[in-house]
Amino acid sequence: MAQNKLGKRSIRFANPVAVRAWASVAGKKEAEGPLGAEFDFTDNDTYFGQASWELAEKAMQEKALDILAGKAGMRKQDFELVLSGDLLNQCIGSAFTMRNTGIPHIGLYGACSTMALSMLTGSMSVSGGFADRVVAMTSSHFAASERQYRFPLGYGGQRTPTAQWTVTGSGAVLLCPESKGIQVPCATYGVVTDFGIKDAANMGCAMAPAALETIRTHLEDTKSSLEDFDCIFTGDLGQLGKEMLMELASREGLQFGGKLMDCGNLVFDNTAQDVHAGGSGCGCSAIVLCSRILGNLQSGKWKRVLFCGTGALLSPTSTQQGLPIPGVCHAVRLEGEM
Amino acid sequence: MAQNKLGKRSIRFANPVAVRAWASVAGKKEAEGPLGAEFDFTDNDTYFGQASWELAEKAMQEKALDILAGKAGMRKQDFELVLSGDLLNQCIGSAFTMRNTGIPHIGLYGACSTMALSMLTGSMSVSGGFADRVVAMTSSHFAASERQYRFPLGYGGQRTPTAQWTVTGSGAVLLCPESKGIQVPCATYGVVTDFGIKDAANMGCAMAPAALETIRTHLEDTKSSLEDFDCIFTGDLGQLGKEMLMELASREGLQFGGKLMDCGNLVFDNTAQDVHAGGSGCGCSAIVLCSRILGNLQSGKWKRVLFCGTGALLSPTSTQQGLPIPGVCHAVRLEGEM
C-alpha cells in the first residue's frame, strides 16, 4: 500500500509542507465587504487596467504572484512550479498569466474547488520532493463569469434569490518543504458526487453533498473529530448550501455547532451588498483563505482548520442539455504552529 | 533542493512507476486510419449510443476505464485516483465520467497536452506514495469540438489548409509503483510559451516552440541526447507544426533525423482522409500512446521514447479578443524493459 495513504482517500504529507506566504487580490465590491481590510491589494477598476474582464483576471493573477514573491522575499522567477486554474473557458486566465514566465505550470480544473485542489496537488509535489517553491493559485471575475455562464451584464437579467455572486479576486499561496510556520499535514481527495440537482442558479445545494462526503471521510481517515478543529471552512456553498450541508450532516449525527464557516458566506454582507445567497467562484475561497484563514492561523487565534474547496462541475452546455450538476470537494488540513 | 528535481525543470521518479495497462477507444474515422487495427475499441456511431456528442465523450472515457480495468485484471472501483481532463468547456467530459464512481479525481486542464500532463502528475502521486493504482486519462470528440471552438457542423464551413482534425477518442493508462514492465523514469514540466501566432486554424505552429523548448530542456536536464531515444513523439503538431519544429530545431543544431514522430501526423492518412494538416485534440496523443507507442515499447521494438504532449492554450474568447495562442509541452520519458 502507498506509504502516504491514510484510510479510504486521504493522504499525509510525511515530508513537511508549509504555507510560507500568501497573497490576495480583490475587486471593488469585495473591498467593500466584511474582509475588505484584510486583502493585500484591491482595485476600484473592475478591468484592473486591462482591455477586457478576461484580461483583468490575468492581471489579478499576475498581481497575486508579484505580491506573493515580495512577501516571501524572492523573485517571481524563483518559483519552481505553479499549479493553477480558473473558471474561464479553457482556463485562459491561468494560461495568459503563465505565458513566457518560464515557470513550470500544471493547469488544473476543479471549478470553485480549485484553490483546495491546487494546494492538495501542490503539497504532493513538495512533499514528494519534486519542487521546493510551489505556488497554488486561482482566480475568478464576476463580469467575465456572468457573460460566460449566464447573461451579458448589459442585458440586465434578474438574479434568482438562490444565486451566488462570483467573487472578483485571486489568491495564491507559496508551499515549501519546511517544518516551521503553517503546516499542511494531510488532505483528502474529492470524489464527484451527483445529487440530481439541476438548478444552475442554486449551486450551493448541488455542492453540499460533496462537502459532507469529504468532511466525513477526512474525519474517518484521519481518526479525528470536529473537536480537533477550530473551524471547518467550506468554499463556497453560500447561505443556502451551508444550511443544506448542516441539515444533511445532522441527519447523520454530525453537528457542526458554530464551527462550520463558508467562504461564500463571509466574503460579502449578503443583505447589504445585495448578493443574494453569497459569494462564489474560484476566487472566493482563495481570497478568504489568503486573508482571514491564514491570518488567523498565523496569529495563533486558530490552531487547526479544515479547508474544503467545493466545486460545481457544470457547464452551460450540460445545463442546456438538461443534465444535473455534479459537485466535488477537496479538503486540505491547515495547522498553525502548535 | 528537492531530492527528485533534475536540472532546470525535470523530475525523476525515484520510487519506480510503471504503466501496467492501457486502453484506447476511438471513433469511425480513426478506425479507418493507419492505426485502426491497434485500438482496443472503436464505434461507427459518433454518438457512442448517447443523446449528444458531449455525452459521447463521457461514454468514451467510461469505456476506456472499463477496458483498462479489464486489462489490468481489476475492477474499476479498485482505481485509487483518476487524473483527467478534456477540451469541453469546464471539462464536463471528465466530470460526468467520474460522477458517482466514488473514485478520487484530480481535474486537469492542459488542452491537447493533457495526456502527458496527467501522466506526469499521476506519476508524482505514485512515486510520492500517495496512491497505488492511478489512472491518467483524457478524451476529445471531433463534433463537440467543432461546434464549441469553430462552427456548428451543419453550417458546412470550409476548413483551412492548415487546420487539424480533432480526434474522436479516449485513452487511459494505469500507473502503478512497480519496477517491472514499461517504466516512467522521469519527466519534464512544461512552460507556457508564446510565439505571437494568432491564427487559431494553425495551432501546430503555435505549439512548436513549446515542444522545442521542452525537448531541449529534457535532454539537458537528464544529460541525454537524441541518440538515447528510439523516437521523440510530439502530440499533436500535425504536418505543419512538425515541419516548423524541425526547422526551429535545426537552427539550434538539433537534427531529429527520422526520430521525430507526431501523433497528429500518424493517426490519419492526411491526404486520403482529407484531414488537411493532421489530427489534434486531447484524444489524439492519448490514443496513439495507448496503441502504437505503448505497444511497441511492450513488444521490445522500441526501448526508450520521449512522449511530448503539446497544447494550444487558447479559447474562442481569447481569439476573438485578438490575443495570441500560448503553447505548452509536457514531456514524459517511457522505457521498455531493458
Please tell me which residue of chain B has the smallest CA distance to A326: B99
Helix (H) or strand (E) holding A85: strand A81-86
Distance between CA atoms of A30 and A115, rounded to whole angstroms?
Answer: 18
Nearest Cα of chain A lies from the Cα of B334 at a distance, in angstroms, of 18
Question: Which residue from B177, B191, B318 is facing A104, i.e. has the nearest CB?
Answer: B191
Q: Which residues of chain A have pLDDT under 70?
A: 1
- Using the beta-carbon criterion (under 8 Å), do A108 and B111 form an inter-chain contact? no
Facing residue for B54 by CB, picked from A104, A321, A328: A321
CB contact under 8 A, A316 and B89: yes
pLDDT at residue number B277: 94
Which residues of chain B are within 8 Å of residue A130 when distances are taken between CB atoms?
Answer: 2, 4-5, 11, 124, 128
CA distances A294 to A27, A173, A210, A304, Å, are: 20, 10, 24, 10
> Nearest residue of B to residue A50 by CA position?
B321
What is the pLDDT at residue A207?
96
Q: Do A192 and B108 count as a contact with CB atoms less than 8 A apart?
A: no
Chain A: give the shortest CA distance to residue B256, in Å: 24
Output the average pLDDT for chain B.
96
Instruction: Give the pLDDT score at B1.
Output: 65
Report the chain A residue with the minimal C-alpha distance to residue B176.
Answer: A2
Are A117 and B108 within 8 A, CB to CB?
no
pTM over 0.95: yes
R_g over Cα of chain A: 18
Chain B: residue whose CA lies nearest to A190: B104
Rounded Cα distance, A38 and A24, in Å: 9
User: From the candidates A192, A214, A320, which should be mutated to test the interface with B, based on the most B CB atoms within 10 A?
Assistant: A192
3-state helix, strand, coil split of chain A in percent (to 5) is 40, 25, 40
Nearest residue in chain B measured CA to CA from A110:
B107
Beta bridge partners of B328: B311
* Interface touch A321/B89, C-beta < 8 Å: no
Q: Which residues of A touch B106 (CB under 8 A)?
A: 108, 110, 117, 120-121, 189
Contacts of A1 in chain B (CB under 8 A): 132
Are B125 and A130 in contact (CB < 8 Å)?
Answer: no
- 3-state SS assignment for residue B166: strand
pLDDT digits over B199-220, tens only? 999 999 999 999 999 999 999 9
Question: Which chain B residue lies closest to A51 (C-alpha atoms)?
Answer: B321
Burial (CB < 10 A; 0-12, 13-18, 19+), residue B271, is: exposed
List chain A residues with CB under 8 Å of B104. Answer: 9, 189-191
Contact B106 A85 (CB under 8 A): no
A52-86 confidence digits (pLDDT tens): 999 999 999 999 999 999 999 999 999 999 999 99
Nearest to B328 by CA among B315, B300, B309: B309
Q: With 80 as the cut, is the pLDDT of residue B266 above it?
A: yes
B107: which chain A residues are within 8 Å (Cβ-Cβ)? 85, 108-110, 117, 313, 328
**Cross-chain CB nearest to B124 (options A87, A128, A321):** A128
The mean per-residue pLDDT over the stretch B85-97 comes to: 97
Cβ contact, residue pair A2, B80, below 8 Å: yes
Nearest to A2 among B103, B111, B130 (CB): B130
Nearest by Cα to B162 from B106, B98, B241, B104? B241
Closest CA of chain A from B301, distance in Å: 31
What are the pLDDT digits (tens) for B8-33? 999 999 999 999 999 999 999 999 99
Tens digit of pLDDT for each residue in A219-243?
999 999 999 999 999 999 999 999 9
Q: What are phi and psi of A178, to 5 degrees?
A: -135, 150
User: What pLDDT shows up at residue A1?
Assistant: 65
- % of chain B at pLDDT higher than 70: 100
pLDDT of B338 higher than 80? no
What is the DSSP track for A291-315?
IIIHHHHHHTS-SEEEEEEEEE---
C-alpha to C-alpha distance for B195 and A151, rounded to whole angstroms: 34
CA of B178 to nearest chain A CA: how many angstroms apart?
12
Tell me the one-letter amino acid at B25: V
Q: What is the DSSP letter of A46?
A: T
Please give, rounded to a whole number of angstroms, the shortest distance from the CA of B257 to a CA of chain A: 28
CA distance B310 to chain A (A): 13
**Measured between CB atoms, which of B92, B102, B328 is closest to A105?**
B328
Question: Distance from A16 to chain B by nearest Cα, in Å?
Answer: 12
Query: Cβ of B105 and A189 within 8 Å?
Result: yes
Smallest CA–CA distance from A132 into chain B, residue? B2
Confirm if B281 and B112 have CB atoms less than 8 A apart: yes
Alpha carbons B101 and B104: distance in angstroms, whole number: 9
Residue B261 has pLDDT above 70, yes or no: yes
CA distance to partner chain B, nearest, from residue A89 (Å): 5
**Predicted local distance difference test score (pLDDT) of residue B307:** 98
Amino acid A308: pLDDT: 98
Label the pairing between strands A41-42 and A18-26. Answer: parallel
Cβ-Cβ contacts under 8 Å, A193 against chain B? 99-100
Helix (H, G, I), strand (E, B) or coil at A174: strand
Check CB contact under 8 Å for A191 and B316. Answer: no
Question: Nearest-CA residue of chain B relative to A214?
Answer: B104
Q: B85–A55: do the CB atoms touch at under 8 Å?
A: no
Residues A211, A327: Cα–Cα separation, whole Å: 8
Asked casually if ipTM beats, i.e. exceeds, 0.95, the reply is yes
Cβ within 8 Å, pair B192-A125: no
